[in-house]
Structure formats: structure tokens, C-alpha cells
Structure 1
Amino acid sequence: MFPEHTLDTAPPTSRPAMRAAAERLGHLPPAVARLATSPHLLDGFLELSAAFERTTLDPLARETVVMTVAVRNDCRVCVALHTGKLRTLGADGELIAALREARALDDERLEAVRTFTLEVLRTAGAVGDDELGAFLSHGFTPQNALEVVMGIGTYTMSTLANRLVRA
């Protein structure tokens, strides 16, 4: 139902994003090839994920958000891809394993990110003052709290779309 497009078979408006992904990664990932069925979704996800990368959250905090959403939504493609990204960032094996297994993290600061992410999801954003305060007490800012919401939105779109297209 969702073909794995090539640059020749994809909708013309998906091709620039596909080319850019292939150049950046050295190959065209099957997930990108399938998401190309919707140029709007593909462009939207790539633009949002690039914007999320520019937030003031540090790289490990961003990846904690992504992995928390990916594991919660059972997106194997995202878990695999972001496991690799965590390794590139120098994350230790225990951190990666805990994120993949939805376990508490030894790093208190990253655990604050993980639990805050889950609380935003659980409450559909209606996070209580105590839970927000716990997140902020680890050196995060109100801006960071909103950036977590951005990451949740971006990677909820990605995980749901990847599962829908059977990436």
C-alpha cells in the first residue's frame, strides 16, 4: 500500500527531500522512501526535526526525548536509528539500554527529561506544577519545557507515520 519510492517513482515534490536525505546519510533510508508518498509529511518531518536539532536542549537531552517517544510508540526504525545517534554522541551502553527498555536512567538530569516527556504525554500537556518544577530543578528552563513538547510532536508524527507505512 505504501511503496518504497525511488527518486524516479516518488511524487516530484518529494524528490528534493529524498535527495537531501540520501546525500546526508549516504543512502536513501527505506522509511524516507515510504514517507515520500506524502511530500507534505516528509517535508514537515524533516523541517521539524532540523528545527528540533537547533533547540537549546543539549544533544543527549534531545535524544532522550526522541528515544522516549520512539520506545513508547514502538517505532523500531526510530529506536534503531536513534540508538546509532546516541552511540555517535558517545552515550554509554547503560544509558542506551535503559532508554531502549523504558527504564529509569542513572543520569538524574536525563532522567528528568525522560520523566517529563512521559508526563507531558500522559497528561496531554497538562503537567502539574510539581512535575514541571522537578524538570526545572535540574537546570532546565521554561523554554526547554516547550522544546520537549516540540520534540514530542515531531517524533510522534514520525513514529506514527513509520508504523503506518510499515517502515
Structure 2
Amino acid sequence: MTRLEQLFGGKLPRLVMFDLDGTLMDSVPDLAAAVDKMLMLLGREPAGVARVRDWVGNGSKVLVRRALAGQLQHDGVADELTDEALALFMQAYAGGHELTTVYPGVRECLDWLRERDVKLAIITNKPAQFIEPLLEEKGLAGYFQWLIGGDTLPQQKPDPAALLWIMG
């Protein structure tokens, strides 16, 4: 019996839901490159990978606001500037994901779950337009029955709406 089976009392779950960034893959280097390009186009200093790593996790708009503020607290950033910067960020991030890497063991885990007919889903705050191309580029397309991005539903994580929608 595997450790996962032990955790579930000898039975596997019928569904496993994953976050994408920071769970299945490290996308921070590409996110940082897009943030830095956005900042430079706005005449600002680049933030770098270490700072961006601290800012990710709440979706693109919050990441952009944090980058504009230069810190986690971003309440003072004007909405008009955010909108302009977000468009620049999205354009820069769409340019490719060559710096994003799949974490060790992810493919083996997904294969193992798929072989046992466990349904798989991704719920991420990443904009939906980037999910499938990223999965294809990194060789993870076809594993998941559901792909929920930060703009797929009216609410995004940590709101449970996506979890409930998939289970419903």
C-alpha cells in the first residue's frame, strides 16, 4: 500500500485538485521576467526573482499592484496605473514560459493517479488563457479534466467556489 493510499485508509480519492504555480511547477522566473519587463516599460527599476517570489499567489492583478508598490502592501496604487501595467504584464507573460520548470516527481504522480482512474483538476489564480498553453509546453496537457483559472469564475482562490463547482 502506498503512502497516499495509507492516508486515505486504503482507498484513493476519486478526485485530486492541484494548484499550478508553486505546486506542480515553478513559474516564478517567468513571472519575474514579465514583471521586470512591465516595470522597465513604465520607467521603473526591475524587481527581480526574489521579490516577485514573495508577491505571487493572489493572481496577476495583485502581483502587478505589488510590483508597482514595490512591496506586499499595495493599497495606494491607482487603478488606472494598475490597468495600464496589467496590460503590459499580460503581453510580456504571453511571450513564453521557457524559464518555468515542472517540479521533480510531478509527472510520475500524475501518471500514477491517472493509472488509477483518479480525476484531476487544476485550480489556479493564473489567468485561464495561460493554463493550457503552459501545460502543453511543459508536457502536462491531457492529465486534467478541469482547468480553472483566476478569471474562470467570478471568485478566485482562496474562495471555495471553484472547488464546489468541480465537485458539484
Q: Same fold (TM over 0.5)?
A: no
> Smaller-chain TM-score range?
under 0.3
TM-score of the aligned structures, taking structure 1 as reference length:
0.28
Larger helix proportion of the pair: 1
Q: From the CA coordinates, give the structure whose radius of gyration is larger.
A: 2
Comparing both chains, which one has the higher relative contact order based on Cα–Cα distances under 8 Å and sequence gaps of 6 or more? Answer: 1
Larger strand proportion of the pair: 2
